[in-house]
Amino acid sequence: MSEKKKITLNRRFVVSRLVRDRGDTLFVTGLGSTTWDAAAAGDHRNNFYLWGGMGGAAATGLGLARAQPGRRVVVLTGDGEMLMGIGTLATIAVVAPANLAVCVIDNQRYGETGMQETHTGHGVDLAAMAAGAGFALTQTIWTTKDLEAAIPHIYETEGPVFVDIKVNTDHVPMVLPMRDGTAIRGRFREAVLGERAYD
Amino acid sequence: MATTKKKTANKWPVQIFKTLKDADVAQVAFVPDAGHAELIKACLADNHIKTTRLTTEEEGVALALGAWLGGERSALLMQSSGVGNCINMLSIMQETRSPLLMLVTMRGEWGEFNPWQIPMGQGTAKALEDAGTIVYHVDDAGGLAETIYAASQIAFNAYRPVAVLIGQQVIGFKDWRK
């Protein structure tokens, strides 16, 4: 049994730090806190915000990564959302897209429904599950130092890459991005495809 | 008699495959079904189609959204029992008004032997329609390719989730006495 480590990272700090190096990376964010985190870090045309379809963030990222093999795709989602679509780790590993990274912002809680505990606070190790599925690189991140070391992997290392970033439960202000699904997909497709978005 | 039936049974998956190529489908995702076995084989053998094996059907709905966000058309293959797994995920297609082409091989209807297949099989079309999906039910192998092509046009040109239910009359039902 491993000792219980102290979780110190703040989710908004983590996501702000992550997107600072985004370049032309395409982001898919999951229901719901990671969608608010991405908005708080600065709205971007290359962000696709999921406000629903819990469990679907990683699979959406996979479909996008296959359609855009020349672009880096990062899925940013929560531990509860990832657990609901946990089989997708196996699906991604079998396809093995080199341009895909999955980052779980893991506060060990279902944040949108009253902060009930998820499985990850009870010993379930998402990075180990991703490794078991066959991801090229997996890591659990506890500190700023770990995070700094992982960022180049998230954006550059041949994937699929999986990182589970442990974050604390400090209260953060609610920041909401656009929420009309049709508008979100229209803007995102135009950012990725240009004029072809409206074919 | 038996030979004629076998010929027809072997031919329609090939027609579906050609139809998917005609419709510029670039990605095909699936949870296997006996009814889709030939089509899955054809897709796996095609160098230009990116196949994805799924652990559960709703993954394929989200995958279809991602593919389309990246500019590719996709198709999702499953058995009728898998439709039930997709219901909440279909909401993302409706809310973003995105194309989805589902090809569903039916169980639990024509000549079904397994009673456990009946609840989902009888509810498949209703569940899909309630989730905002346009549904075509095909019982005649002769009209299948045309219906799938028409469905693909609605999906990709009118940006809507569409399901083609391939009836057990087309697939042929399992005769459990044999």
pLDDT in tens, B10-22: 589 999 999 999 9
Q: Are B111 and B81 in contact (CB under 8 A)?
A: no
Q: Which residue is listed with tokens 């709205």?
A: A43
- CA pseudo-torsion sign B98, B13, B82, A111: negative
Asked whether the CA dihedral B92, B94, B96, B100 is positive or negative, the reply is positive
Residue B100 in contact with residue B64, Cβ under 8 Å? Answer: yes
Tell me which residues of chain A have a pLDDT lower than 50: 1
Distance from CA of A68 to the nearest CA of B (A): 6
Identify the pLDDT of residue B2.
43
- Cβ-based contacts under 8 A for chains A and B: 122
Looking at the DSSP bridge assignments, the partners of residue B73 are: B25
**pLDDT value of position A1:** 44
**Which residue is it, tokens 């990062």?**
A74
B113-171 residue pLDDT tens: 999 999 999 999 999 999 999 999 999 999 999 999 999 999 999 999 999 999 999 99
Written as one letter, the residue type at A28 is: V
Cβ contact B71–A193 (<8 Å): yes
B66 touches chain A (CB under 8 A): yes
CB atoms within 10 A of CB B158: 11
Q: What are phi and psi of B104, to 5 degrees?
A: -115, 115
Contact A161, A141 (CB under 8 A): no
Asked whether the beta carbons of A62 and A95 are under 8 A apart, the reply is yes
For residue B8, pLDDT beyond 80: no
Complex ipTM, two decimals? 0.96
| pTM, full prediction | 0.95
Q: How many CB atoms lie within 10 A of CB B141?
A: 19
If contacts are CB pairs under 8 Å, which of residues 85-124 in chain B contact chain A? 88-89, 91-92, 95-98
Residue A27 three-state SS: strand
User: pLDDT, tens digit, for every residue of B78-98?
Assistant: 999 999 999 999 999 999 999
Chain B residues within 8 A of A196 when measuring between CB atoms:
71
Q: What percent of chain B has pLDDT over 90?
A: 89
User: Quick one: closest CA in A to B26, which residue?
Assistant: A67
Q: Which residue of B lies nearest to A29 if distances are taken between CA atoms?
A: B66
CB-based contact B95 A182, cutoff 8 Å: yes
User: Which of A48, A91, A188, A195 should one mutate to test binding to chain B, selecting the residue with the greatest count of B CBs within 10 A?
Assistant: A91
The distance of A105 to chain B (nearest Cα, Å) reads 20
Burial classification of residue B45, based on how many CB atoms lie within 10 Å of its CB (0-12 exposed, 13-18 middle, 19 or more buried): exposed
Residue A28 and residue B26: Cβ atoms within 8 Å? no
Closest Cβ–Cβ partner in B52, B60, B92 for A53: B92
Q: What is the pLDDT of residue B1?
A: 39
Q: Which helix (H) or strand (E) holds A14?
A: helix A11-20
CB A34, CB A66: distance < 8 Å: no
Q: How far apart are CA A2 and CA B41, in angstroms?
A: 46
CA A70 distance to own-chain centroid: 19
Inter-helix orientation angle A11-20/A33-40, to 10°: 60
Residue B174 scores a pLDDT above 90? no
Q: Are A37 and A198 in contact (CB under 8 A)?
A: no
For residue B4, the model assigns a pLDDT of: 47
Q: Which two tokens stand for residue A75?
A: 């899925």
* 8 A C-beta contact, residue A64 and residue A73: yes
CB contact under 8 A, A59 and B62: yes
pLDDT at position B11 is 87
Mapping DSSP to helix (H, G, I), strand (E, B) and coil, where does residue B156 land?
helix
